[in-house]
């Protein structure tokens, strides 16, 4: 089954590569030369750093230096008390569970909002200029720093913020709600605010490829609106849903900024743990954590791929 | 289907869309409004007076925020990233049309570079440069002991980290561009005796130019707003988003809102200018 997913994904990626231009075999050397700068950048700033991280995760460290070695202590430290401590969760497991909780909640919310917005833009907005305008309205807020988009919630959610003022004015509560800011709630809200567009764009993209005749055919054959949605639109929008989900889930898994700022630096996440270890110059420990995070991200992606595929099988 | 009366679901989804837009814009509008407060303004509503006081404080560098260094450093970095992203993406885009060996591997690496968590990339580059530093120290002898500090910096490791973030976007845009590209123009140029370089400069490049501005917009704004990948790779310097993140914990005046308004304005201005360029280019093309 993984085989079919793999070839399917590979085929769709291959389809993305432009098929025009020169005849086969011609200018392969020139092609290599033209691709060289990109190869260099990725080799020096992506592949080698990942390799270095893997190597350093086996090194020793003291308070002020890191020493080449091959030890498993960093990994052992990560899982310290994870097995024999059960049923009590060790720090690493707790952190991963908390991160997964944020992943799942943010994914669910962005998927529902993203799908609805994409559906509206693709099927209800009737003219292209109108679609472009709606898209611009949605994207303009994305052209500003994520820090600014986070602190922008302070005047609304703070103890004396607009929301609390409104709630107290209406008599819903007589004390300002404390859980609006620097809480799980504000972290999720900010993450949804920051990344829903990453869900909208790919889903919109696959919806625009759906032939309207298919939807008409479904309707003519007597399908209700809901049936058309579940049997025609959702299956055909699957690639977009998948791409958006991978984006959102991987971003939230590695997040340390949003959880830091919106959580008032009080909420744990894997990314934040790595950041803290770096601050204390415990590089090998941070590297071991990074390797673990990378494995977790890969597992999450394969789980997503599989989940979507299983739904097709049912 | 296109012309009939709106179904009921239209109104429901239109309401969802309107709420979504309000959700996106609301907070931004709030801080832009609050940045124009009078001198005794605070961090929350109601607004206390209307003035440019906080912008003046920011401009004079008298307040708690010293921003101009980080501002211009980020600006220069974003410009360099923008130019490199356009050049490298175009070259790679042309390469992918030629089907070179290893093309699929490079594509997978580019996609992986988008998906791998930024903190991991940042840590990796930071570690890599620390090892480079050690190498220079041990090879450089006396001279290095006295003069060499570190290779980590805005335009070495910082630049590289930003490119790992902007290049995948640039490459994907180039795919979209070349997928819609009609090669018969190039064939015509070659039939008329143009060299490959002439074909590229006089035919291919003018046709793809408006889209390159799109790549430039992406390159600049992605770098200008980049924070997660910057965190471990900037050495002793910092960028504007890093400065902003640090300020969120210390500044308690509307000065930070003024700064937010300013950087957002700068970003929107640049995007506006570049998009206008693209528009004019296309206009002129279709007129000629």
- How many CB atoms are located within 10 Å of the residue B97 CB? 24
**Distance from the B138 Cα atom to the nearest Cα atom in chain A, whole angstroms:** 15
Residues A116-159 have pLDDT tens digits of 999 999 888 878 888 888 888 888 887 788 888 888 888 888 88
Predicted local confidence at residue A284, as pLDDT: 92
First-last CA distance in chain B: 38
Provide the chain B residues 82-101 that lie in CB contact (below 8 A) with chain A: 87-89, 91-101
| Structure tokens that stand for B220 in this block | 């600049």
SS3 A66: strand
Predicted local confidence at residue A178, as pLDDT: 80
Residues B51-62 have pLDDT tens digits of 888 888 877 766
Q: pTM higher than 0.90 for the full model?
A: no
Is B271 near chain A, with CB under 8 Å? yes
Distances (CA, A) of A291 to A269, A270, B119, B178: 15, 11, 11, 37
Whether the per-residue pLDDT at B198 is higher than 70: the answer is: yes
Provide the chain B residues 151-170 that lie in CB contact (below 8 A) with chain A: 157, 160-161, 163-164, 167
Distances (CA, A) of A28 to A23, A167, B93, B262: 10, 67, 14, 48
Predicted local confidence at residue B66, as pLDDT: 65
CB-based burial label for B126 (10 Å; 0-12, 13-18, 19+): buried
- Per DSSP, the residues of A193-207 read HHHHHHHHHHHHHHH
- CB neighbours of B110 closer than 8 A, spacing ≥ 6? A38, A42, B167, B168, B171, B172
Residues A256-276 have pLDDT tens digits of 989 988 888 888 899 999 999
Whether the per-residue pLDDT at B261 is higher than 50: the answer is: yes
| Structure tokens that stand for B269 in this block | 């201005």
Between B61 and B170, whose confidence is greater? B170
Which residues on B lie below 8 Å from A251 (Cβ)?
117
| pLDDT bracket for residue B95 (50, 70, 90) | very high
Q: Which residue bears the tokens 């805005």?
A: B154
CA distance A58 to A62: 13
Predicted local confidence at residue A12, as pLDDT: 57
Predicted local confidence at residue A47, as pLDDT: 96
First-last CA distance in chain A: 14
Between B54 and A104, whose confidence is greater? A104
Whether the per-residue pLDDT at A16 is higher than 70: the answer is: no
Q: Which domains does chain B have, with CATH numbers?
A: 67-250 (1.10.3720.10)
Residue A67: which H helix or E strand, with range?
strand A66-67
| pLDDT bracket for residue B249 (50, 70, 90) | confident
Mutate to test the interface with A, among B34, B123, B196, B273 (most CBs of A within 10 A): B123
| pLDDT bracket for residue A5 (50, 70, 90) | very low
Given a contact cutoff of 8 angstroms between Cβ atoms, the answer to whether B268 and A143 are in contact is yes
Top mean-pLDDT range of A86-95, A135-144, B217-226: B217-226
**Distance from the A39 Cα atom to the nearest Cα atom in chain B, whole angstroms:** 7
CA distance A104 to A249: 8
A160 → closest Cβ in B44, B107, B241: B44
Mean pLDDT computed over B159-173: 94
Whether the per-residue pLDDT at B68 is higher than 90: the answer is: no
- CB neighbours of B183 closer than 8 A, spacing ≥ 6? A20, A21
CATH code of the domain made up of A89-313: 1.10.3720.10
Residues A152-191 have pLDDT tens digits of 888 888 888 888 888 888 888 878 888 888 889 999 999 9
Mutate to test the interface with A, among B9, B13, B120 (most CBs of A within 10 A): B120
User: Helix B103-115 to helix A28-42 angle, to the nearest 10 degrees?
Assistant: 20
Whether the per-residue pLDDT at A1 is higher than 60: the answer is: no
Average pLDDT value over all residues in chain B: 86
Length of chain B: 288
Whether the per-residue pLDDT at B134 is higher than 90: the answer is: no
Is B178 near chain A, with CB under 8 Å? yes
Provide the chain B residues 234-253 that lie in CB contact (below 8 A) with chain A: 240-241, 244-245, 248-249
CA distance B271 to A257: 25
Whether the per-residue pLDDT at B260 is higher than 90: the answer is: no
| Structure tokens that stand for B103 in this block | 């093309």
Between A95 and B252, whose confidence is greater? A95
**Distance from the A81 Cα atom to the nearest Cα atom in chain B, whole angstroms:** 25
Distances (CA, A) of B178 to A78, B161, B182, B187: 47, 27, 8, 15
Predicted local confidence at residue A21, as pLDDT: 46
Return the minimum-mean-pLDDT range out of A63-67, A99-103, A203-207, A219-223: A63-67
ipTM above 0.90, yes or no: no
Residues above pLDDT 70, as percent of chain A: 89
Given a contact cutoff of 8 angstroms between Cβ atoms, the answer to whether B202 and B73 are in contact is no
Residue B177: which H helix or E strand, with range?
helix B159-179
Instruction: List the single residue in B with minimal CA-CA distance to A289.
Output: B120
B123 → closest Cβ in A53, A152, A215: A53
DSSP H helical ranges for chain A:
2-16, 28-42, 48-56, 73-78, 91-119, 128-139, 146-151, 154-157, 162-169, 184-208, 212-220, 225-228, 234-236, 238-254, 257-262, 270-279, 283-313
- Per DSSP, the residues of A231-298 read IIIHHHTHHHHHHHHHHHHHHHHH--HHHHHHTTT-S--HHHHHHHHHHTT-HHHHHHHHHHHHHHHH
B167 → closest Cβ in A41, A212, A301: A41
| Closest-CA residue to A236 (of A310, A126, A124, A312) | A312
Domain coordinates of chain A in residue numbers? 89-313
Mutate to test the interface with A, among B36, B43, B44, B208 (most CBs of A within 10 A): B44
Predicted local confidence at residue A2, as pLDDT: 43
């Amino acid at each position: 089954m993984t085989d079919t997913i793999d070839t399917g994904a590979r085929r769709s990626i291959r389809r993305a590569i432009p098929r025009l231009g020169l005849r086969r075999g011609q200018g392969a050397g020139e092609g290599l030369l033209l691709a060289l700068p990109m190869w260099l950048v990725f080799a020096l700033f992506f592949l080698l750093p990942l390799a270095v991280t893997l190597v350093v995760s086996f090194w020793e460290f003291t308070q002020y230096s890191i020493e080449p070695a091959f030890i498993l202590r960093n990994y052992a430290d990560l899982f310290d008390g994870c097995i024999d401590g059960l049923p009590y969760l060790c720090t690493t497991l707790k952190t991963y569970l908390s991160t997964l909780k944020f992943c799942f909640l943010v994914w669910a919310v962005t998927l529902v909002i993203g799908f609805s917005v994409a559906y509206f833009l693709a099927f209800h907005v009737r003219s292209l200029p109108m679609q472009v305008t709606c898209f611009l309205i949605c994207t303009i807020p994305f052209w500003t720093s994520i820090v600014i988009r986070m602190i922008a919630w302070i005047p609304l959610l703070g103890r004396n913020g607009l929301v609390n003022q409104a709630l107290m004015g209406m008599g819903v509560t007589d004390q300002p709600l404390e859980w609006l800011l620097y809480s799980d709630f504000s972290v999720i809200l900010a993450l949804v605010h920051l990344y829903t567009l990453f869900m909208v764009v790919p889903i919109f993209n696959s919806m625009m490829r759906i032939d309207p005749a298919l939807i008409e055919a479904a309707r003519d054959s007597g399908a209700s609106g809901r049936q058309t949605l579940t049997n025609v639109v959702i299956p055909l929008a699957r690639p977009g849903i998948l791409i958006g989900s991978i984006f959102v889930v991987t971003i939230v898994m590695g997040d340390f900024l949003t959880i830091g700022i919106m959580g008032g630096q009080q909420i744990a996440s894997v990314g934040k743990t790595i950041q803290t270890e770096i601050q204390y110059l415990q590089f090998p420990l941070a590297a071991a954590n990074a390797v673990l995070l990378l494995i977790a991200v890969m597992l999450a992606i394969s789980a997503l791929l599989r989940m979507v595929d299983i739904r097709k099988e049912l | 289907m296109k012309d009939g009366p709106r179904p009921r679901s239209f109104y429901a989804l239109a309401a969802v869309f309107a709420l979504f837009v309000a959700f996106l814009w609301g907070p931004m509008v709030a801080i832009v409004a609050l940045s124009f407060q009078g001198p005794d303004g605070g961090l929350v509503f109601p607004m206390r007076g209307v003035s440019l006081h906080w912008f003046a404080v920011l401009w004079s560098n008298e307040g708690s925020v010293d921003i101009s260094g980080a501002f211009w450093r980020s600006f220069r970095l974003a410009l360099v990233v923008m130019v490199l992203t356009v050049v490298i993406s175009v070259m790679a885009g042309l390469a992918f049309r030629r089907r070179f060996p290893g093309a699929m591997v490079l594509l997978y690496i580019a996609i992986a570079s988008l998906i791998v968590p930024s903190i991991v990339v940042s840590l990796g580059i930071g570690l890599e440069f620390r090892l480079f530093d050690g190498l220079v120290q041990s090879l450089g002898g006396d001279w290095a002991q006295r003069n060499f500090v570190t290779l980590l910096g805005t335009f070495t490791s910082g630049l590289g980290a930003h490119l790992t973030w902007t290049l995948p976007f640039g490459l994907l845009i180039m795919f979209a561009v070349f997928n819609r590209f009609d090669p018969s123009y190039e064939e015509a140029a070659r039939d008329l005796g143009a060299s490959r370089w002439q074909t590229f400069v006089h035919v291919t490049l003018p046709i793809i130019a408006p889209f390159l501005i799109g790549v430039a917009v992406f390159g600049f704004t992605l770098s200008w707003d980049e924070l997660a990948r910057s965190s471990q790779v900037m050495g002793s310097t910092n960028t504007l988003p890093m400065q902003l993140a640090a300020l969120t914990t210390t500044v308690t005046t509307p000065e930070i809102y003024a700064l937010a308004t300013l950087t957002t304005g700068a970003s929107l201005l640049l995007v506006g200018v570049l998009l206008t360029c693209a528009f004019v280019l296309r206009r002129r093309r279709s007129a000629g």
